[in-house]
Structure 1
């Protein structure tokens, strides 16, 4: 069984995030690039299955700038057998459709029995990639799984609903996305970090992918691109109102809430 886990290098959530208003794209040089944690949880689920089953190969796949390969190495250090890195300057600012087209083409080239991805990245928070890939790959898709069980011919899990929990299942090959409810990812051991330097990383550009599968991604003018045109910083938090009880605190609190239509 071949399990491909999608990893996305993103700006560190604890660092500064800056938007370049001239290009409408994130300034990735403003903070350190790390693997999105939800992707690490997806990889942890794949690695746990591989360790239990004994016959599963785990591959990490990423579409990211060339300088992001160091972040991809963490996936290898955690235990993935190999990596596939799609890097091409023509993909700068790719929107969801364009990204899904390229990832789908890379997945066809790589081959897969199961694709696991996080439900939403911390930078784009789109939450649509798994569903789009399933459609483009003509494979069953299950999203927002809070638990994951993989067998030889199927994948199943649970998904939260407004009224409870739904149990879902799909035959392989399939595409699934997982949530933060999955177990925490492991920390790479020193041995894993050293071994990661020897593991293969396949480098791909758009020219390495079948043109009919990438579609308009090669055409700069035809390829759709969604960019952010404006941004506003969150206003600073002001000090709250302090009410000292001098016998009329209840009345003052009631008046405070009524004035703001909160009562």
Structure 2
């Protein structure tokens, strides 16, 4: 494992109690960062803190990412605990299950957009002023190859991730001269708990589209994501980095 330098940095990882977010937190801690995990599941947060605390400084905040006041409070609490926020990784996301666009329940469609896109907007909104004030920041949004291609039977998820790519590009341009870089990654499917909300047919479809003929490993994703939060990433912003095993064509 290559050594990344996040010494004296503080990273927020949303959805950090499990899946890709947990893997990102592990890699960040091993790279010297202090990490604050934001998640809605208090029980899972406490278990994650117990599992990660031996690697470094870990705090947890129970937060509803679709609620502005909850997100703002989480940002204040994190700064109070750690002194600053230098990096934000927006990993929290839901799939909303699978179904034809005209058959998916409207409330499910809206909830996926709220969590995956509005939630990421609210977290960016909460941390960016502090990053501008300190003249340094790194934001990584975990989008999806579905946001580039549009997966059938997952219009809500695909639309949310396409929106997240657009948010990344806009915010990256707005912050380009302020020392704050904003990038996205577009993973193919990683075998995490999120698979539990997908049909086997959809899982088989995703695997068939990956030229490497396997799913992404969380540690592989964490390697790229955490690098994007370091000072070594210095001239890339508003960019989208592929993690699709050869699936993405642009």
What TM bracket, shorter-length normalisation?
0.3 to 0.5
- Between Structure 1 and Structure 2, the one with more helix by share is 2
TM-score (norm 2): 0.39
- Between Structure 1 and Structure 2, the one with more strand by share is 1
Which structure is richer in relative contact order (CA contacts within 8 A, separation 6 or more)? 1
